[in-house]
Amino acid sequence: MKFQPPTLERIMRSKTSSAMPSDKTYVNNETRNYFQAIDNMIKVFDFRPEDEVLFLTDPLLDRRVIDALHGIALSRGCRPREYMMPTTQLARCPEEAKSTIEKATFVVSSWFCSVNDPLFNKLRKEKGQRWVKITYFRDLDLLHTPQGRFPVDLVGEIIRATARMYPTSENFDMTFKCPRGSDLVIKWTPDMVKGLLANNRWRGQDKATEDGCYVHFMPTHGPNIYDLNCFGRDQGKRKAGQNAEMEGVIYPQWAIGFDEPFQEKIGLEFKNGVVKKVHGKTREADVMRDMLVGVNAELHELGCGFNPKYPRFKAYPAGSNAPGALHFGTDSDQPSEYLKRNVPRWEEPHIHQDSVIFDATVKVGDRTMIDNGFLMALRDPKVVEEASRYGDPAELLEQFVE
């Protein structure tokens, strides 16, 4: 009988055919990965023996997270306390919690208002309180993920490389484009850049070692490539309603509270930092219109990720945080009934909305910061050199988790 050469159908049907390595993780590798993530965690939560450690929590948080951090604090000679509120969705510090928070020197928080509450900013500035926000560490099992073990110091180098792209001595345009037709311009001045980059996270300081710091763990979210710190928000210098000169439309691919990415082109039209119009005819466009138009939906933050191992297309809980993916975070004057129904236990308040673009091209002056969703800082020579300390730079920086 004549030999029948293998067909493509036979190859595809085979149970053993493969041209890629197995995705099986052996116990010894998992153990190694896990302890790398633990070391990252301990570096960030730099408790001092004299610290008054306070946890600001909510009932939906994985208790193992607090127990793990409590144990580290105890080993350093601290005696932590905890203040729990019914939800993370706090726009301001509760009056009854203020006296407790004022006594702390190190705060670990799941509360939304952690970043911009006037009291918290004052305590960081005047008392030197160190803060770690744990929006992305609500489940202890995240220590078993690639983003959990990605070197925290390498995240800092990627952030510093991005910061170096901003012109600092002249006015310039920050422009946004995408394949769907996004076309947005934000006008910048040197003073705005100075205000933005004054944040400790823009110096790549992602560990809670410096007095007055505010960092995230896991170190995935931000710093923002535009936010109201351009005008001294955290220092209390921003005037009411002060925003950048900004005009144009962006076409996000997804937004919080929607089961699937948008099938229709839905456009958000901005004018001086506020959403003025939503373009589109589908039900999703109507929902976004109701959520954002006529309610002073102000661009609170324009977030970008800096951890290459964060899942690229994961938009929940606060916008994608993969390098080069953007989330336009707006805050409105009134909560969205749609968000309250669809994501009632969301970690953010229902006045907030994160609209996500995975494939934007962003320029600052004549420099390309993001190219079709790829953060150019990942190829900065100093970033590549730093990555080589931990392994193969190409694998660490450009093998993304989808």
| pLDDT tops 80 at residue 25 | no
pLDDT at 98: 98
- What is the spatial distance between Cα 352 and Cα 366, in angstroms, rounded to a whole number? 32
Q: Is the pLDDT of residue 2 over 90?
A: no
Q: Token pair for residue 360?
A: 């934007």
Mean pLDDT of the chain: 94
Question: What are the φ/ψ torsions at residue 215 (nearest 5 degrees)?
Answer: -135, 170
> Mean pLDDT across the stretch 62-75?
98
pTM of the model: 0.92
Does 19 have pLDDT greater than 90? no
pLDDT of residue 22: 77
pLDDT the model gives residue 60: 96
The beta strand positions in 236-335, using DSSP E, are 246-250, 254-255, 267-271, 274-279, 298-304, 326-331
Pairing of strands 172-177, 352-357: unpaired
* Mean pLDDT calculated for residue range 358-375: 97
Please give the torsion angle defined by the CA atoms of residues 320, 321, 322 and 325, in that order, rounded to the nearest 10 degrees: 60
Q: What is the pLDDT of residue 179?
A: 96
What is the DSSP secondary structure assignment for residue 140, as one 8-state letter?
G
For 27-144, CATH gives 3.40.50
Q: What's the confidence (pLDDT) of residue 313?
A: 93
Structural domain boundaries in the chain: 27-144, 151-203+219-398
pLDDT tens for 309-356 read 999 999 988 888 899 999 999 999 999 999 999 999 999 999 999 999
CB atoms within 10 A of CB 294: 12
Query: What is the tens place of the pLDDT at every residue in 35-45?
Result: 999 999 999 99
